[in-house]
Amino acid sequence: MRCHEQPTINYQPMLSTLLELQRLKRLDRTGWVLRGLAPGAESVAAHSYGVAFAAMLVADEVRARGVEVDAERVLRIALLHDVAEARTGDMPRTMALYYGAEARASAERAAFDDMIQGLDERRRSDYAALHEDYERRESLEARLVKAADIVDLLAQALAFERAGARELGEFWEGVEERDFGLEGAAREVVNELIGSLVAARRELK
C-alpha cells in the first residue's frame, strides 16, 4: 500500500447503528402517554437531547465552582444512556414493580451490547464501559448525567403543565430530597437547579 493511501474502512456497522437509532425519534416516552398526554408529546430521542444539554449546563457550572469534571465523558454518557430503548422500548418505572429492577437492567444491558456488536472492538469496549458506568453511577460524570436525566424530566413536566396538562404531580414527589450520590459543589448545583424548577412550578398554582 502506498504511504499516501488510507486503509479501507467498513462503514456498514456505523450505518446500521445510526439507522436503528432512528427509532428513538419516533418512540414515545411511555410515562407521558400513560398519563393522558397525546402520542408524540415527547420522543426518547428528544429526551436524550434534553438530558445531554442539561448535563452540559450542570457540568459547566460544577467546573466553574472548581470541581474537575470530564465534560466529554458527561456528554458521551448522556448520549448513550437510553440507546438500548431502540430495542427494548421505553419501559415505565412501574415495570420494575413487576419484573424487578435487576431484570430490567439486565435486558437493557443485553440490548445495548447487541446494538453495538457490529462496531470495532475498541468502540464496543469504550461504549460498553460508559453504559455500565451510567448504570452503576461509579463516576462523578455518570452521577451528573443521572441528575440531568431528572432535571430534563422535570423541565418537560413543567412545560406540559404550563400548557395545561394535569395529573403530573407524581413526577415531582420527593425530587428535592433525591440523593444522586453527589457531594460539595456538584450537589449544590443540582439541588439549586431542581429547587428552581420546583419554585417555578409553584408559581403555576
Distance (Å, whole) CA 37 – CA 7? 50
Kindly list the domain boundaries of the chain, sorted by start residue: 12-202
Distance (Å, whole) CA 24 – CA 87? 9
Distance (Å, whole) CA 58 – CA 64? 10
CATH superfamily of this structure's domain 12-202: Hypothetical protein af1432 (1.10.3210.10)
Is residue 153 classed exposed, middle or buried when 0-12, 13-18 and 19+ CB atoms within 10 A define those classes?
A: buried
> What burial letters (b/e) apply to 29-52, b meaning 16+ CB within 10 Å?
bbbbbebebeeebbbbbbbbebbb
Confidence (pTM): 0.93
pLDDT in tens, 92-125: 877 778 888 888 899 999 999 999 999 999 999 9
Please report, in tens digits, the pLDDT of each residue of the chain (205 residues total).
Answer: 455 666 678 889 899 999 999 999 999 999 999 999 999 999 999 999 999 999 999 999 999 999 999 999 999 999 999 999 999 999 887 777 888 888 889 999 999 999 999 999 999 999 999 999 999 999 999 999 999 999 999 999 999 999 999 999 999 999 999 999 999 999 999 999 999 999 999 999 7
